[in-house]
């Protein structure tokens, strides 16, 4: 699962960094054909796009770190169960 998230995080972070620097271009990405003239985006909308992008990057980073921790550092849950069984408790 960690490898899948790592592979998907590369284009996600590239697109997010591009969105931080060019919010108007990223907003009109794949939508520009709808308009005869390029619409103006307000400063509030640009700020909202940037805040959403930063929050998305923070969430994705947390998800990636949590999955990496679960993949590499979490102990096996059945190891303790198998090693500490009493013979008297078995049927």
CA-to-CA distance for 64 and 68, rounded, in angstroms? 6
Q: Would 7 be classed as within a structural domain?
A: yes
Q: Would 14 be classed as within a structural domain?
A: yes
Residue appearing with tokens 């490898």? 3
pLDDT of residue 51: 97
Give the mean model confidence (pLDDT) for residues 1-29: 93
pLDDT of residue 27: 87
Confirm if 54 and 43 have CB atoms less than 8 A apart. no
CA-to-CA distance for 15 and 23, rounded, in angstroms? 11
Looking at the structure of the chain, the number of domains it has is 1
Q: Would 13 be classed as within a structural domain?
A: yes
pLDDT of residue 75: 72
Q: Would 90 be classed as within a structural domain?
A: no
CA nearest to 7, candidates 53, 77, 82, 64: 64
Confirm if 49 and 27 have CB atoms less than 8 A apart. yes
Rg of the chain over CA atoms, in angstroms? 23
Higher pLDDT, 28 or 60: 60
- Each residue of 31-84: pLDDT tens digit? 888 888 888 899 999 999 999 999 999 999 999 999 999 888 877 766 666 666
Which domain does 12 fall in, by range?
A: 1-29+45-74
């Amino acid at each position: 699962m960690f490898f899948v998230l790592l592979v998907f995080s590369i284009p996600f972070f590239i697109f997010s960094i591009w969105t931080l620097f060019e919010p108007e271009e990223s907003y009109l990405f794949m939508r520009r054909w709808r308009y005869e003239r390029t619409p103006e985006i307000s400063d509030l909308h640009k700020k909202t796009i940037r805040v959403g992008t930063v929050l998305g990057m923070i969430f994705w980073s947390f998800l990636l770190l949590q999955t990496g921790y679960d993949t590499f550092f979490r102990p096996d849950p059945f190891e303790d169960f198998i090693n500490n069984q009493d013979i008297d408790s078995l049927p």
